[in-house]
């Protein structure tokens, strides 16, 4: 898969693609998603801060966000299973809190 230099914006939708191959650790994931979503400078690179920002997203102008995670079987592969579960729970909660967010996991 070709790595994107930046998210794709089309028809007022922000498309983000996270490749599990590029995110074996939380640090890699935080850097990747933080860059694509342009997290504020106060992002603390931890689960609590990630949760807070994913339930805010007030700096995003687009009315819809779609996050695709490809190679999900490799995503956070160097982390404990509890960390993967925590991240997916945060993303699931963000969907419930923000009706303009949609997430998909893709296995490739």
53, 36 Cβ separation under 8 angstroms: no
Residues present in the chain in total: 108
Domains of the chain: 8-105 (3.30.370.10)
| Beta-carbon-side half-sphere exposure of residue 2 (alpha carbons within 13 Å) | 5
- Whether the pLDDT of residue 10 is over 70: the answer is no
For the record, the structure tokens of 65 come out as 């966000």
The stretch 79-92 carries a mean pLDDT of: 94
Name which of 26, 43, 14 is nearest 103 in CA terms: 14
Task: From 54, 45, 42, select the one nearest 88 (Cα to Cα).
Answer: 54
What pLDDT score does 50 carry? 97
pTM as predicted: 0.83
Chain segment 48-74, per-residue pLDDT in tens: 999 999 988 889 888 888 888 989 999
């Amino acid at each position: 898969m070709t790595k994107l230099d930046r998210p794709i914006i089309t028809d007022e939708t922000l498309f983000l693609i996270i490749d599990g191959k590029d995110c074996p650790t939380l640090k890699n994931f935080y850097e990747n998603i933080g860059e694509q979503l342009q997290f504020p400078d106060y992002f603390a690179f931890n689960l609590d801060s990630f949760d807070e920002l994913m339930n805010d997203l007030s700096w995003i102008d687009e009315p819809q966000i779609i996050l695709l995670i490809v190679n999900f079987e490799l995503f956070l592969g160097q982390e404990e299973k509890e960390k993967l579960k925590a991240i997916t729970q945060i993303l699931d909660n963000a969907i419930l809190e923000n009706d303009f967010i949609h997430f998909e996991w893709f296995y490739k």
